[in-house]
Structure 1
Amino acid sequence: MFEYTIIDKSLENKIILITGAGAGIGKEAAITYAKLGATVILLGKTVSKLEAVYDEIIALGLAEPAIIPLDLKGATKQNYIDMSATIASQFGRLDGALLNASILGELTPFTQIHEQIFNDVMKVNVNAQYLLAQALIPTLQLAPNASLIFTSSGVGNQGRAYWGAYSISKFATEGMMQVIADEYENSTLRTNAINPGATNTGMRTSAYPAEDKDKLATATDIMPLYVYLMSDDSIAVNGKTIKAQ
């Protein structure tokens, strides 16, 4: 695992947006960030899941989260612009954004990738990330130091047979991250990507249904990197894709 000692209150008073916050890694990151003192903004498409995470954070006596129900497959550019403006209005800034939400599509030979599935994967994993980042950057720049984190994959820098649409989308994600990181290199915004590795999540199960889940890392196991990149300890880190495992 990525070696980093998580320090209590290391994210105190930070305002952090997490996409895909209703389950898996996004949910774990939201709860972890809240425990470390952050006010988290939970974005996801399923309201009931977001409400469950909200309730869990409140039950722990932590700062009250905000909820933004939004389906990345159907959201428009204006939705993201309005969302960012609302965050700036209500909180005054955004200290961090973890762009965690993505979809797998299907594992299939390249010549059999269905056009609609390919388009859906690109819309959620690439187009939505581009529009989100574009809308959020002005609000991130209102913070003294801000961290924008994309989510990549082991197939995001080395193509793998049958992972077509998802792999291509993660190559695009890493490229997008590098472009933003380079453009804002001399600013208060740093941009990086995380490769979570094989983790026991719903997406992993759909890709490898017969896999022994007990041999996989849990979302909790990989949190040190997620905390590190969101904390001020990583202020000098920019334009990197880092493995959580």
Structure 2
Amino acid sequence: MAVWQNHDYLHFQPQTNSLENKVILVSGASDGLGRCAAIEYAKLGADLVLLGRNRDKLTQTMEKVSQYPVQTLAIDLDFASATAEDYHSLAANIEAQWHRLDGALLSAGILGQLCAIKDIQIANFDEVMNINVRSQLLLAQALLPLLNNAPSSSLVFTTSTVGHAGRALWGSYAMSKFAVEGLTQTLGDEYKDTTLRVNCINPGATRTQMRAQAKPDEDPMVLKTPLDIMPTYLYLMDDASAHITGYCLDAQPK
């Protein structure tokens, strides 16, 4: 897909409380990039809607966020089994509390089988596509009315380097991320004449559990941490990025 080529965002430094009076949803907030982004958004004053499938880990994120004077709504939601009704119920909860949504970072996803295309098990393929693609579509559909209620809003999906160019043995995961980039481009074009912008982030090789699962023999200490790449995540939620839609931003461009 179209990759944003101006890399000034890599050094983005938001103003103090730049997200104050904004409501931001973060999926995958239980761990890794989602948790880190949620904490950083709270530091800048954003009220938060946190989604995660692991209540214990989600509680840990809540404890971190509670250090800041923001409102927080935490909801257990397992994308593997969630229905369209579950997503619309979530949207109704947000509507009742805030009447709008200024931003949404969709960070949750799974790796699935890393194997040759010929060896992909359809049950595993279906699981990856359900969580990495179908749930993203259903969640976006439920949130779009709330995002359109905000004066300026940002919807951010999560892609991967293998969503830009296919790579041997990355199978279902690569296909799911190609689909996410297609979803980003299509939505971005549909809403290009509105105040809603739609983009995606490719975090690159980052010190997360998913990376450790994909590369078990890799030394994690050579990788950047989630906090190291947060400028990209802050930039796309800040009004400074209001002119960008339908693009992928590489948090670690080559």
Please tell me the TM-score bracket, short chain as reference.
over 0.9
Q: Pick which of 42-51 and 6-15 moved more.
A: 6-15
**Match among 71, 84, 91 for residue 91 of structure 2:** 84
1:35-114 paired onto structure 2 within 5 Å: 35-58=43-66, 60-114=67-121
**Match among 10, 15, 18 for residue 7 of structure 1:** 15
**Match among 199, 202, 219 for residue 192 of structure 1:** 199
Alignment partner, residue 166 of structure 2: 159
Report the CA distance between 1:62 and its aligned residue: 2.9
> Match of 2:148, as an amino acid?
Q
Unaligned runs of 5+ in 1: none
Report the CA distance between 1:64 and its aligned residue: 3.3
1:217 & 1:62 partners in 2: Cα distance?
A: 29
2:11 & 2:161 partners in 1: Cα distance?
A: 19
Unaligned runs of 5+ in 2: 1-6
Answering whether residue 28 of structure 2 is matched by residue 20 of structure 1, we say yes
> Match of 1:5, as an amino acid?
Q
Q: Pick which of 48-57 and 60-69 moved more.
A: 60-69
8 A contact 1:195–1:241 mirrored in 2: yes
1:81 & 1:188 partners in 2: Cα distance?
A: 22
Report the CA distance between 1:6 and its aligned residue: 2.8
Secondary structure of 1:209's partner? coil
Answering whether residue 124 of structure 2 is matched by residue 117 of structure 1, we say yes
Report the CA distance between 1:52 and its aligned residue: 0.9
8 A contact 1:85–1:139 mirrored in 2: no
8 A contact 2:188–2:246 mirrored in 1: yes
1:223-242 paired onto structure 2 within 5 Å: 223-242=230-249
Answering whether residue 153 of structure 2 is matched by residue 146 of structure 1, we say yes
Secondary structure of 1:185's partner? coil
TM-score scaled by length of structure 1: 0.98
2:49 & 2:125 partners in 1: Cα distance?
A: 29
> Match of 2:222, as an amino acid?
K
Q: How many residues align?
A: 244
Secondary structure of 1:182's partner? helix
2:189 & 2:223 partners in 1: Cα distance?
A: 34
2:13 & 2:83 partners in 1: Cα distance?
A: 39
Report the CA distance between 1:50 and its aligned residue: 0.8
Q: Pick which of 232-241 and 7-16 moved more.
A: 7-16
**Match among 201, 210, 213 for residue 206 of structure 1:** 213
Report the CA distance between 1:3 and its aligned residue: 2.2
1:88 & 1:188 partners in 2: Cα distance?
A: 19
**Match among 134, 137, 148 for residue 144 of structure 2:** 137
Q: Percent identity?
A: 48
1:96 & 1:214 partners in 2: Cα distance?
A: 32
Change (3 A) 1:193 1:175: same
